[in-house]
Amino acid sequence: AQKVTQAQTEISVVEKEDVTLDCVYETRDTTYYLFWYKQPPSGELVFLIRRNSFDEQNEISGRYSWNFQKSTSSFNFTITASQVVDSAVYFCALSEAMWNFNKFYFGSGTKLNVKP
Amino acid sequence: GAVVSQHPSWVICKSGTSVKIECRSLDFQATTMFWYRQFPKQSLMLMATSNEGSKATYEQGVEKDKFLINHASLTLSTLTVTSAHPEDSSFYICSARDLSGGLETQYFGPGTRLLVL
């Protein structure tokens, strides 16, 4: 079974629209980390956020915000007022205490197309 | 912040040749590094965990004799794709584990695109 599921394969929005990328995870560990990475066409992964399992407080960073809900095992990512530069593939990832946080389980990614 | 570099950034080789990819942590020591493979339009899949001074740990389904990993120093891990074939063409990404500062973080390299003709 997949540990991280990103059901949205590809999303297209028009600039200035808000968009939410979904991430659902599965783990038996009580201690784990969740991540979001951005992968532009160049391929380099850009770290966006890390959240540990004990911190359910939502976070906002500029136009980015994250909604972590343990009750539904979700860690959704919202971009407000999207811009063309936001176009990329976004990956959600999970690392578990069981593996000493060594193993990263990546979701399949969501490709975001922001059109001008 | 911490930086991980990879060299080369892209490589084209003939089928049957071996290719070495380097992963370096530039401003921190990494006792553990990781190698991932990403096929076009797919996710990153962990291939192996590279530990300084010891043998690498490979994920199920990854041929250790084909993907040789050497972690000879605290700042360098190498992945050698031996007798490469077209199906090995992929984007290879390394990451390095930074334990300094009391907060563990993994930093990803920029990736190496391998095309085997």
A65-88 confidence digits (pLDDT tens) = 999 999 999 999 999 999 999 999
Helix (H, G, I), strand (E, B) or coil at B18: coil
Query: Measured between CB atoms, which of A91, A104, A107 is closest to B106?
Result: A104
B65-82 confidence digits (pLDDT tens) = 999 999 988 999 999 999
Query: Measured between CB atoms, which of B43, B105, B113 is closest to A106?
Result: B43
Strand ranges inside chain A, DSSP E: 4-5, 10-14, 19-21, 24-25, 32-39, 46-52, 59-61, 64-69, 74-79, 88-96, 104-106, 110-115
Average pLDDT over residues B10-24: 97
Q: Is A104 close to B93, i.e. CB distance below 8 A?
A: no
Query: Measured between CB atoms, which of B44, B105, B111 is closest to A106?
Result: B44
Q: The tokens of B109 are what?
A: 């390299």
Query: Among candidates B114, B110, B113, which has minimal Cα distance to B5?
Result: B110
Q: Evaluate if residue B100 carries a pLDDT over 90.
A: no
Nearest CA in chain B to A92: B43
Low-confidence ranges of chain A (pLDDT < 50): none
In this complex, is the C-beta atom of B8 within 8 Å of any C-beta atom belonging to chain A? no
Q: What is the mean pLDDT of chain B?
A: 91
Average pLDDT over residues B9-31: 94
